[in-house]
Structure 1
Amino acid sequence: MSDIRTSRRIVFQGLGALGVAAALAGCGGGTESAGGGTAPEPGAPLATTAEVPVGGGIVLPDAQLVITQPTEGTFLGFNTTCTHTGTAVNQVDGTEIVCPNHGSRFSIEDGSAVQGPASAPLATIALTVEGDNILLA
């Protein structure tokens, strides 16, 4: 009987095909997010201004959103999808948004990659502030 071994390349090629199939399957309509939550509608309240620290930010995994406040009164939104492999960023550490997969870090000021392996910035998401509420624009 021959010794059959599966190389990493073959496994990853198979996973790549599955990933493409999963991505194409997700191209249909609807508001369900890839994280399993429901994507917020424009005008939906996301957080209060008091919940987002100045010089930091918060991650809203169900909304696939990071809200930062780099300077007092300036609120910015970024998509949680890391531009390296598509893993969701999961924390804000000081002035950087962190991806747990390979350690990429992004600026809270503009979403730019400040530490690789990611080199592209996080996608921006428009926000508005009404009173003490941060809303999806």
Structure 2
Amino acid sequence: MAETPGSSMPPTRRTVFAAAGGAGLAAVLTACGSDSDSGSKADAPSSGAAASDTPSQTPSDTAAPSASSASGGAGVAALGKTADIPVGGGKVFADQKVVVTQPTAGDFKGFSAVCTHQGCTVSDVSDGMINCHCHGSRFHVADGSVAHGPATSALPAKSVAVSGDTVSLA
């Protein structure tokens, strides 16, 4: 029983499955098209690390290497200028997940910017405290110890180095 165009017979299961399979194949082939359609495909794990994928990932990676070379050492990631970190305060570098404080003039300390309560990134440093606005935890700028919970553990120390007027993650 062959179906002819314009006939009123319902399609067979074989016809329906063939059409669905063809549509699925078309969707897969479209998704595997050239990399010029979308920059987001370069970030997909299945993209296969082709040479054309590297440039799309480079912009987010280039800031740290160029900054670290300015600080004069391989393996040292520059964070910012010492002038940006006030005495008695500090600055959160959310991208690097580190907070740098200056409890007293010329004494720079580094701590993880991940709150020990539930893993939020601390939001700011003010009034001698590192503040996490997720649940209200506060930590001392001098040693990262808990000043106010709900956190019960201090912020882990991170190694920082000062070279000239640049603070770097060591």
Q: TM-score, normalised by structure 2?
A: 0.56
Inter-partner Cα distance in structure 2 for 1:83 and 1:92: 16
| Aligned residue in 2 for 1:94 | 127
Q: How many residues align?
A: 100
Inter-partner Cα distance in structure 1 for 2:134 and 2:85: 24
Inter-partner Cα distance in structure 1 for 2:142 and 2:157: 11
Inter-partner Cα distance in structure 2 for 1:135 and 1:81: 18
Q: Give the residue type in structure 1 aligned to 2:168.
A: L
Inter-partner Cα distance in structure 2 for 1:135 and 1:89: 19
Inter-partner Cα distance in structure 2 for 1:80 and 1:44: 16
Q: 1:70 and 2:103 equivalent?
A: yes
Q: 1:52 and 2:52 equivalent?
A: no
Structure 1 residue 130, shift from structure 2 partner: 0.7
Inter-partner Cα distance in structure 2 for 1:131 and 1:93: 25
Residue among 123, 127, 134 paired with 2:160: 127
Structure 2 unaligned runs (5+)? 1-59, 66-74
Structure 1 residue 93, shift from structure 2 partner: 1.5
Q: 1:111 and 2:144 equivalent?
A: yes
| Aligned residue in 1 for 2:114 | 81
Structure 1 residue 68, shift from structure 2 partner: 0.3
Structure 1 residue 111, shift from structure 2 partner: 0.2
Percent identity between matched residues is 45
CA RMSD of superposed structures (Å): 1.5
| Aligned residue in 2 for 1:11 | none
Q: TM-score, normalised by structure 1?
A: 0.69
Q: Deviations over 1:66-98 (max 9, x none)?
A: 010000000011111111111111111210001
| Aligned residue in 1 for 2:6 | none
Structure 1 residue 44, shift from structure 2 partner: 1.6
Higher relative contact order (Cα pairs below 8 Å, separated by 6+ residues): 1
Inter-partner Cα distance in structure 1 for 2:148 and 2:100: 19
Inter-partner Cα distance in structure 1 for 2:160 and 2:121: 20
Q: Give the residue type in structure 2 aligned to 1:110.
A: D
Inter-partner Cα distance in structure 2 for 1:93 and 1:103: 13
Q: Give the residue type in structure 2 aligned to 1:52.
A: I
Q: Give SS of 2:95's match.
A: helix
